[in-house]
Structures are given as structure tokens and as C-alpha cells.
Amino acid sequence: MDRAELADFLRHRRESLRPSDVGLPEGVRRRTAGLRREEVAGLVGMSTDYYARLEQQRGPQPSEQMVVALTRGLRLSLDERDHLYRLTGHHPPRRARGSEHVSPALLRVLDRLDDTPALVLSDLAETLAQNRLAVALLGDQRRHRGLARSAYYRWFTDPAERELYPTEDHGHQLELQASGLRAALSMAGGGGRPREIVEALLATGEEFDAVWSRHAVHQRFDDRKTLVHPELGPIQVDCQALFTEDQSQTLLVLTPTPGSPDAESLRLLGVVGTQRFAD
């Protein structure tokens, strides 16, 4: 671990960011360039004291999980991420499709979306980042582990995943999930984690085998869908998708028709958030 270089690197990256770069208000009377230490600590999910000690060459070696959090909080590029891993005494992850490194460009757009649900997905339908309204509407999609991180896998193995959609849409979603998984498998050259998911699902029973055998493949999202909130009921949204250049990650933005009951439901979610509604 190179404490001196790490401290200098963190300080430089912090000072190069503006609050608007990470979805924070600019405020007034900022006496220092860039972000404050407490703002970075809040973005990363560590104490201000812990972060300050890293910048002062006094901190302990960050865990790899903390390095991932620093990478996202400081909006680092892949090259900067790898450099941070080395400075903290860790080996950088292998660069490959399916990486958990979220595109900084997509994160910059996500940071500016605070009035409508939005999330960043991998090509395996793994939620890599989501804003507050997306959590309120869909739940914390980043809590899943293992193969269950993929919504494709969860659709065929976890009944709770289907509760997000009206029953009458399940047949369409069945085709959609399988065809999206086939597109991911194709882009991975037929192997890797997509193949692992396919093999696991083929062992689950006839439903996946039947839909998989149809060989449907596509990488697009529905233009409009209905999502079911456990307390507010069905909410219709339009879906806008922004892809990275290699199409390995997608920023999905969900917007209701202005002035509609769906817009009012999302407005209410924006106020209440993840708190339970009163009976």
C-alpha cells in the first residue's frame, strides 16, 4: 500500500469534482475546490474520519469492497480504478464484460435524475446502481448475491420477481427475459457467467427449457411497461435506455405520462420513499 501516493490521488480526484458531477447541490460559499471530505465520505459510505485519515496517510488498508465504493464515489475511469487498486495494495480485477465497474458517463447522468426512477443495468440485467426513486419503486435491487444478481435468473427462480409485473404480462416477460439472456450469452461468446446462468436454469425444470428452445434473441427494452408497487398498485411508465458504446451497460429511465395518475403515484413515492404507507 502506497500511503503517500494514495493520499495525493484521493485528494486530487476529490478536488477535481464539482457537486453537480455527483448529483449534489452546488451550495454557496465553498471555500475549497471540488468536493468536501464529508461529501466524498457520504457518497462512498464511510465515516468522514476514515476518509480523512486516508488523505492524511494515516488510514488502514481499505478492503476491496471499500475500493469499489471509492471508485464509484469518485467517478473513476477504468484506468483510474486499476490505479487505485494498486495504490491500496490490491490486484485490479480482470477487465471483462460483466464487470461491476459502473460507466462513469452513465453515473453522471444518473446523478442528475432525482425526479424519476432510473437504474444502471449490466447486460445480464444485474442492477449496478439505482437512484432513490428506483429503490422506492422496485426495491433495493442491489441486495441480491450470486446468480440471483441477474434479473434473468430471478425471473425463473424467485416468485417475488414476478410480483413486479401484472399477471397478464407474465407471458410476455417470460419471452423477454429469455431472449435478453440469449443476447448476453451471444455477446459473451457462448461462455462465462451467461453460460453458468443458462446451465443453472436448464436444471430448474420445463418452463425455462421450453422458452429457451425457441431461440428468441434481442437486447432492447419495452417502450412502455406496467410495474406493480405493493401498496400503490400498477404504475405505467415509458422506458428510455441509454447504452454504453460496447452495450455492456444500460441506463434505464422510467418516466410516467405527465399529469397522469401514474405521475401522481411516482410523486407520492418521491415524498414517502421506502417508508411504509399508513393503512
Would you give per-residue pLDDT tens digits along the chain (279 residues)? 888 888 888 888 888 888 877 777 776 666 666 888 888 888 888 889 998 999 898 888 988 888 988 988 888 877 788 888 888 989 887 755 556 778 888 888 998 898 899 999 998 999 999 999 999 999 999 999 999 999 999 999 999 999 999 999 999 999 999 988 988 887 777 888 899 999 999 998 788 998 888 877 776 677 899 999 988 999 999 999 998 877 788 999 999 999 999 999 999 988 876 665 544
- With CA atoms as reference, report the closest residue to 133 among 23, 249, 39, 247: 23
Strand 224-229 relative to strand 233-243, pairing: antiparallel
* Domain range 104-272, CATH architecture: 2-Layer Sandwich (3.30)
**pTM confidence score:** 0.69
Alpha-carbon distances of 240 from 18, 34, 88, 103, 116, rounded to whole Å? 27, 31, 38, 17, 12
CA distance 150 to 145: 9
CB 7 within 8 A of CB 55: yes
Edge-to-edge strands, sheet with 233-243 = 127-130, 118-122, 249-255, 233-243, 224-229
Which triple of cell numbers denotes residue 278?
399508513
The CATH superfamily of 3-87 is lambda repressor-like DNA-binding domains (1.10.260.40)
Domain ranges of the chain: 3-87, 104-272
Judge whether 3-87 and 104-272 match in fold.
no
